Amino acid sequence: MLMKTPEILAPVNDVNEVTPLLEAGADWLYGGCLPRQWSEKYPATVLLNQRTFSSAQISSLEDLTTVVSLTNEAGGRFALTINAPFFMDEQYPPALELARFAKDIGVSALIVADPGLIRMIGREGIDIPIHLSTMAVVSNNSAVALFRSMGVERIVLPRFLNLKEVASLCESSPEMDFEVFILVGKCPNIEGMCSFLHDDSGGRWPCEWAFSVTCADGSAPPEGIGAAIDGVRSTDRRDGCGLCALPALIRAGVSAFKIVGRGASLQRKTTLVNALFQTIGQIPGDPPGDLPNGADTEWFTHCRKVYSSLFSKDCLAHNCYFSEIRAGQ
């Protein structure tokens, strides 16, 4: 497997964030913007880009233009999210208008989930790279082939895939770029099949609310269900991390690593970006990711220290994006 130079993607929602995020080590910035044409017609709960609160959006098309210009001038790239899992027919015209606008101002790629929108972007001759959102839930080689035939250049893999499954997809489709989540945002659900709304500016989603499960006859649920519920309860998506899996992911052929946090503070985002940038730079081996004998223990110890510095707690399996790697530690 040909290992690709890893790229870092960071969320941006304000003009003043561009330079600090790029200087911290980001190669790509990504974000969303609600055009007036959309926001005046639809309530916030009708999604264009998977966020409903204003702090997670670039505030206007004018600001979006500035964000893209600053990013490009600094040598970075910007991806615009239009990644609602589906659109109604009447919603395609404003989505396509935004896609055209994005191309015209120099956006490097669109992050899209709806196959219909991908098809229409091509039919309308809007020549811009498409990155497939995790909302499309690509989890097998046939799905990769389908979206490749539609012109998709990069696929953001869903969070539930393990290392073996990610590696299998990369090996089977070496011409495709694959992207994974690596810090924060460890969603307990399957993204593209989840109907919860991210509509709380405080960042507390319905999947995090306390709940209990009982059987219809009043008895306790089976042991497996109870264990799954305990796992969700003990998981804080804000503390999600996959740093220790970086060597394995790079060896597998993953080319891009995404930090979650649209709407988060600039200080938090730059801290996360710099930590990821520094950690990638310290991956042992030649080439990077090819760990020499005896380096594993040192690497995992290093990653745990980074985790503790970022989240002020010890690394736990429930907060690990690729927890199966812990079994080999």
In tens, the pLDDT along 223-233 reads 766 666 666 65
- Which pLDDT score, from 0 to 100, does residue 5 have? 82
Which domains, and CATH codes, for the chain? 7-190+217-323 (3.20.20.70)
- Which pLDDT score, from 0 to 100, does residue 154 have? 98
Token pair in block for residue 289: 């990711």
- Which pLDDT score, from 0 to 100, does residue 217 have? 84
Residues 6+ apart with CB under 8 A from 41: 94
- Which pLDDT score, from 0 to 100, does residue 120 have? 97
The 3-state secondary structure of 87-104 reads: CCHHHHHHHHHHHHHHHH
Token pair in block for residue 64: 């979006």
- Which pLDDT score, from 0 to 100, does residue 214 have? 75
User: Model pTM greater than 0.75?
Assistant: yes
Q: Prior bond to 35 cis, omega within 30?
A: no
CB 39 within 8 A of CB 94: no
Q: Give the whole-angstrom CA distance, residue 171 versus residue 156.
A: 16
Give the residue from 110, 35, 106, 49 showing the smallest Cα distance to 79. Answer: 110
**Which residues of the chain register pLDDT less than 50?**
none
- Which pLDDT score, from 0 to 100, does residue 170 have? 96
CB 304 within 8 A of CB 314: yes
